[in-house]
Amino acid sequence: MVGRGELTDKAWAVIEPLLPPVQGGGRRWRDHRQVINAILWKLRTGAPWRDLPERYGPWKTAHERLRLWTKDGTWEKILDRVIVKDDAVGDLEWIISVDSSVVRAHQHAAGARKKGAAATESKPSPATGKGSAGPVAD
C-alpha cells in the first residue's frame, strides 16, 4: 500500500530509470524508492530532517542521497522528467517551499540617529507640555 504523498508504482516506473545504479561494495545502499519517499516527505512537510519518520530509514541517508543526487545532476533529471510529464497532462500541483529565518537586528538598528545627523528641536508633548529628552540643535 502506498502512503499519502509517496510514489505510486506508475510514478516510480518513470523515475527509476533516471537513478544511478545501487553502489556495490561496503554496506548495502538503502532502497532508492524509500529514500525518494523520505525526500518527498521532507519537502512536503517542511519539517527538519531529524523529524523524518522511522519508516523512511535514517534521516542522514535521505539527506546525503539528496545532496549527492543534487551534485551529480540526478535530482534535476528527475524533476525535469516529472514536471514535463505531469504538466503536459495537467496533473501538476506547484508547491513552493520557503525556508524562513529570523535575524534579530542589533538594538542600535532600531531607529537611533546616525552619527553626524543634525538633531531637530523637539516639540512639546500635548500631554506633558515638555519636549522629548535628548540634545537640541542650536
- 80-113 pLDDT, tens digit per residue, is 887 755 555 555 565 666 666 666 676 666 666 6
- CB-based contact 7:15 (threshold 8 Å): yes
- 50-75 pLDDT, tens digit per residue, is 999 999 999 999 999 999 999 999 99
Q: Where are the domains of the chain?
A: 9-89
Task: Give me the helices (H) in 16-58, please.
Answer: 32-45
For residues 33-40, give the mean pLDDT. 93
Q: What is the pLDDT of residue 41?
A: 92
Q: How far is CA 60 from CA 66, 115, 125, in A?
A: 10, 49, 61
Instruction: Give the whole-angstrom CA distance, residue 67 versus residue 70.
Output: 5
Q: What is the pLDDT of residue 58?
A: 93
